[in-house]
């Protein structure tokens, strides 16, 4: 029976029974997939944090994402740390020793001289391309060795950017793990480290690694 011989209701039933054309279905599925990808891109990745209270440099806080270690801080309060992470990443981490505790313990063991390196991935997704280049170069400085800001600038192909390199390192989101303490001023001075005891902490880390007497 042709559609012309059917009533309106029967005609609609016949159309629905036939279903949409394959091309229309494919286009609709593609639109749904694009919408899901866009939504996933907008959704912030979760962050978790943990605290280690007793270390030679005081309490240490770390935050981790699904990609890796996103923040390390010491010589600050928990509230200040959470505010800093919010400003760095745009979101608030949730307290979870189960997720972030292992990274926190590794940092604490390192400053206590019980660990020589790290086996946690680092998440640098919240820094600029230039800062990422500087931090990755700093991460390649071997334990027990140091570089100057000018030397690091030359290593990344920016020989006139020593000052910018220093600025990038001063905003290192994961100090100790990315060892910006191994980068010194041209005269060997210990400058540009974190906290009120920054120079002392930098010297402590370098002595721990055998880089300074």
The catalytic residue positions are 180
**Rounded Cα–Cα distance for residues 178 and 72 (Å):** 10
Q: What are phi and psi of 15, to 5 degrees?
A: -65, -45
Cα separation, 93 vs 64, whole angstroms: 8
- Specify whether the CB–CB gap between 96 and 89 falls below 8 A: no
Torsion of CA 9, 14, 17, 20, to 10 degrees: -100
53 neighbors 101 (Cβ within 8 angstroms): no
Q: Determine the Cα–Cα distance for residues 106 and 174; give it in Å rounded to an integer.
A: 13
CB atoms near residue 196 (< 10 Å): 9
């Amino acid at each position: 029976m042709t559609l012309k011989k059917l009533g309106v209701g029967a005609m609609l039933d016949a159309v629905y029974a036939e279903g949409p054309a394959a091309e229309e279905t494919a286009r609709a599925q593609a639109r749904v997939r694009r919408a899901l990808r866009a939504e996933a891109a907008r959704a912030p990745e979760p962050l978790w944090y943990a605290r280690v209270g007793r270390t030679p440099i005081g309490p240490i806080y770390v935050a981790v994402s699904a990609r890796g270690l996103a923040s390390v801080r010491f010589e600050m309060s928990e509230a200040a740390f959470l505010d800093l992470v919010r400003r760095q990443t745009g979101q608030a981490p949730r307290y979870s020793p189960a997720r972030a505790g292992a990274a926190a313990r590794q940092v604490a063991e390192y400053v206590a001289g019980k660990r020589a390196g790290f086996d946690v991935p680092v998440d640098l997704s919240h820094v600029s391309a230039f800062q990422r280049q500087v931090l990755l170069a700093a991460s390649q400085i071997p334990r027990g060795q140091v570089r100057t800001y000018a030397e690091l600038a030359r290593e990344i192909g920016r020989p006139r950017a020593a000052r910018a390199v220093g600025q990038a390192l001063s905003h290192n989101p994961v100090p100790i793990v990315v060892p910006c303490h191994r980068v010194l001023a041209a005269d060997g001075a210990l400058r540009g480290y974190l906290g009120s005891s920054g120079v002392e902490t930098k010297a402590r880390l370098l002595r721990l690694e055998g880089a300074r007497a």
